[in-house]
C-alpha cells in the first residue's frame, strides 16, 4: 500500500497526532513549531496539510504546495484560506464545522446570563475595586423573556434547547431550515425579521456571508425594544460595530455579550470602553473537549483525503454542499465510500455504473452518482480523478452511467444503492444513514448486513454450510490477524456473506489460503 504524507502546520491536540501515528499507510510531520518560511520549504513534499489560524494558505503557500491535494482547516473559519486559489490548483478545502458546537453553545449561554445579571461588572467592582454595592447590580431574569435566535443550525438549535430550560419564550428566524425543526422543539418560527427585533434578547448564529455581514445595523437597532440585550458568539461583523457602540452608549441596547470582532485581536476596539458589555477574546472553541474533537475530526478528514476515499465538509466541490439540505451531505460521503468499496470488491474493467436512491435523498441522485463514481474510479485511476472530470472520464472509457429514483419500498427512510458491473460480474451495495451521521452498509448483493464502511475489511462469500466461520477465524488467527468485528448475512438460498473487520493488513498469501476453502465462492479485501 502506498504511503501518504500529511503535514500538521499548526498546533492540534495530542489525540490527533496519536491517530496519525496509528495509521500504517500514513507518514506525518508535526511542523507546528517550525518557522513559517521553513514550512514553505518542506510543504511541497506532502499530500494533505492540516492548518489552523496561524498558517495562511495564501498565494505564497500555494506556490510551494506542489503535491498538496487537500487542506483541512482544523476549525470552522476559513478566513485565512484562499479557497478560490485552492480551487484553481485543484486543492480541496475542508473545515471541521461541528466539533466546537457545544463549546460555542455554552459560551453563548454564559454571555446571555452575563447580559441578564452583569456578572463580569459586579465581579470586577468587588474583586478589583473592593466595593460592596449590591444595589448597583440589579439584573433581570431569563424566565418569561422572549429570545430571538437568528440562525437555527447546529448551534442555534442547541441554544434554544438550553434556553427552553430557563423557561424563555423563543422565536427563530432562518429561511434555510424546515420550520418543523423549530416547531417540533416548541420554538416559534418566523419569516418576518421584525418578530426577532421585538425580542428581549437576540443571539445570532449564522456564517459570515454577504447576506449576514452587518445584518444588524442602525436601522434594526432603532426598531428593537428599549433595553434589548444582544449576543454574538458567531462571527465578527454580523452586528455592525459602530451601530452596536451607539446603541450601547445611548442605552437603547441595555447590554451586549460579544466574543467575536471584525478585526482581531480586538485590543483597541472602542466597544471595550463601554461598561454595559461583556467581552471575550474569541473563545467559542476554547474548551479542552472541543480542542480534542477538532483535532481528531480534522485528522480523520485528512486521512480520508490522503487516501482519496472521501472529502468530508469540503467547501469547494463543484456541488455546493452549503446549498444542500443537511441530511444529504452524509449520503454524498457514503456514496463515495460505497463506490470505492465496490471497486475494491469487484475489481475489473467497469462496463456500467448505476446509482439508485429512494426516499427524500432521491432528489439528489445525480449528485450522489458523481460522488460514488469518484470513489469507484479512484481505485484504478488514483489522483487523476476528481469531482469535475469523473463522469467525462467514465464516458470516454465507454462506461454506461445511470441514475434513478426508485419507490421507497425498503424499511429505511432513505437509501442509496450502487451497482457496479465489470467484465466479470455485477455487484450491488446498499447503504443508509442513521441518526443524521452514522453511515451503514445494509446490503450487498441483496444479502442483509449492518456495518460501517470504515477500516480494513475482509469479504467472504460462501456456501451456507457448517464450519466455514471456524475455518476463517482459525486461518486469520494463524497469521496473527486480530478480528475487530464480524458480521454475517444469509440470502436464504444457500449462500452467506461474512464481513470481517480486522486490525492488521491481509496479505496476498492469506487471501489465497482463504480462497482455497472448499465452500468459498469469492473473497475480497478492501480498506476505507
Q: Contact, 116 vs 229, CB < 8 A? A: yes
CA distance 394 to 385: 10
Beta-bridged to residue 92, according to DSSP, are: 70
Beta strand 92-95 with 456-463 is unpaired
CA distance 119 to 154: 27
Name the percent of the chain in helix, strand, coil, to the closest 5: 35, 25, 40
Q: Which DSSP category does 220 fall into?
A: H
Q: Contact, 373 vs 353, CB < 8 A? A: yes
Beta-bridged to residue 496, according to DSSP, are: 462, 490
Please count the other Cβ atoms lying within 10 Å of the Cβ belonging to residue 41. 11
The residue annotated as part of the active site, out of 264, 289, 383, 505, is 264
| 463 catalytic per annotation | no
The residue annotated as part of the active site, out of 13, 235, 307, 369, is 235
| 125 catalytic per annotation | no
Nearest C-alpha neighbor of 308 from the set 378, 391, 392: 378
Q: Contact, 171 vs 187, CB < 8 A? A: yes
The residue annotated as part of the active site, out of 111, 158, 205, 282, is 282
Cα–Cα distance list, 523 to 7, 146, 461, 508, 515 (Å): 36, 62, 6, 11, 6
Q: With 0-12 CB in 10 A as exposed, 13-18 as middle and 19+ as buried, what is 476? A: buried
Phi, psi of 74 (to 5 degrees): -75, 80
CA distance 155 to 518: 56
Q: Contact, 4 vs 47, CB < 8 A? A: yes
The distance between the two most distant Cα atoms of the chain, rounded to a whole number of Å, is 87
| 466 catalytic per annotation | no
DSSP secondary structure, 50-92, as one string? EE-TTS-BSHHHHHH-SS--EEEESSS--TTB-HHHHHHTT-E
Q: Contact, 92 vs 305, CB < 8 A? A: yes
CA 388 to chain centre: 21
CA distance 275 to 248: 9
Instruction: Please identify every residue annotated as catalytic.
Output: 235, 264, 282
Amino acid at each position: 500500500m502506498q504511503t501518504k504524507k500529511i503535514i500538521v502546520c499548526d498546533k492540534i491536540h495530542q489525540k490527533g497526532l496519536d491517530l496519525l501515528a496509528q495509521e500504517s499507510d500514513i507518514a506525518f510531520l508535526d511542523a507546528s513549531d517550525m518557522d513559517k518560511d521553513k514550512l514553505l520549504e518542506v510543504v511541497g513534499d506532502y499530500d494533505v496539510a492540516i492548518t489552523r489560524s496561524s498558517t495562511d494558505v495564501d498565494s505564497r503557500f500555494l506556490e510551494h504546495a506542489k503535491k498538496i491535494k487537500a487542506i483541512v482547516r482544523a476549525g470552522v473559519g476559513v478566513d485565512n484560506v484562499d479557497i478560490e486559489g485552492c480551487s484553481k490548483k485543484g486543492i480541496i478545502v475542508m473545515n471541521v464545522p461541528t466539533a466546537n458546537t457545544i463549546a460555542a453553545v455554552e459560551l453563548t449561554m454564559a454571555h446571555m446570563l452575563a447580559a441578564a445579571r452583569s456578572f463580569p461588572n459586579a465581579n470586577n467592582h468587588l474583586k478589583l475595586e473592593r466595593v460592596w454595592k449590591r444595589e448597583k447590580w440589579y439584573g433581570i431574569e431569563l424566565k418569561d423573556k422572549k429570545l430571538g435566535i437568528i440562525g437555527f443550525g447546529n448551534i442555534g438549535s442547541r441554544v434554544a434547547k438550553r434556553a427552553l430550560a430557563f423557561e424563555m419564550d423563543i422565536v427563530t428566524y432562518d429561511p434555510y431550515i424546515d420550520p418543523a425543526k423549530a416547531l417540533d422543539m416548541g420554538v416559534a418560527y418566523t419569516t418576518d425579521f421584525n418578530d426577532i427585533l421585538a425580542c428581549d434578547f437576540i443571539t445570532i448564529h449564522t456564517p459570515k456571508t454577504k447576506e449576514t455581514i452587518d445584518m444588524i445595523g442602525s436601522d434594526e437597532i432603532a426598531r428593537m425594544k428599549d433595553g434589548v440585550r444582544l449576543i454574538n458568539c458567531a462571527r465578527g461583523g454580523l452586528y455592525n460595530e459602530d451601530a452596536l457602540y451607539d446603541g450601547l452608549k445611548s442605552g437603547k441596547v441595555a447590554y451586549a455579550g460579544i466574543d467575536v470582532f471584525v478585526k482581531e485581536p480586538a485590543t483597541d476596539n472602542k466597544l471595550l470602553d463601554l461598561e454595559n458589555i461583556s467581552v471575550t477574546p474569541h473563545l467559542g472553541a476554547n474548551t479542552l473537549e472541543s480542542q480534542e474533537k477538532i483535532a481528531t475530526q480534522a485528522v480523520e478528514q485528512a486521512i480520508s483525503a490522503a487516501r482519496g476515499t472521501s472529502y468530508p465538509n469540503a467547501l469547494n466541490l463543484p456541488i455546493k454542499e452549503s446549498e444542500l439540505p443537511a441530511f444529504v451531505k452524509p449520503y454524498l460521503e457514503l456514496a463515495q465510500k460505497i463506490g470505492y468499496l465496490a471497486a475494491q470488491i469487484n475489481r475489473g474493467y467497469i462496463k456500467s455504473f448505476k446509482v439508485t436512491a429512494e426516499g427524500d435523498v432521491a432528489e439528489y441522485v445525480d449528485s450522489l452518482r458523481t460522488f460514488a463514481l469518484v470513489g469507484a474510479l479512484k481505485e484504478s485511476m488514483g489522483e487523476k480523478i476528481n469531482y469535475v472530470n469523473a463522469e467525462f472520464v467514465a464516458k470516454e472509457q465507454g462506461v454506461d452511467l445511470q441514475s434513478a429514483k426508485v419507490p421507497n419500498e425498503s424499511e429505511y427512510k432513505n437509501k442509496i444503492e450502487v451497482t457496479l458491473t465489470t467484465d466479470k460480474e455485477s455487484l450491488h451495495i446498499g447503504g443508509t444513514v442513521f441518526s443524521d451521521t452514522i453511515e451503514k452498509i445494509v446490503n450487498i448483493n441483496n444479502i442483509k448486513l449492518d456495518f460501517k464502511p470504515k477500516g480494513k475489511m475482509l469479504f467472504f462469500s460462501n456456501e451456507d454450510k457448517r464450519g466455514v466461520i471456524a475455518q476463517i477465524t482459525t486461518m486469520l488467527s494463524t497469521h496473527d490477524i486480530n478480528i475487530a468485528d464480524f458480521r454475517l448475512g444469509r440470502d436464504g438460498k444457500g449462500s452467506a456473506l461474512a464481513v470481517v473487520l480486522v486490525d492488521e493488513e491481509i496479505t496476498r498469501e492469506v487471501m489465497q489460503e482463504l480462497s482455497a476453502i472448499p465452500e468459498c465462492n469469492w473473497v475480497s479485501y478492501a480498506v476505507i
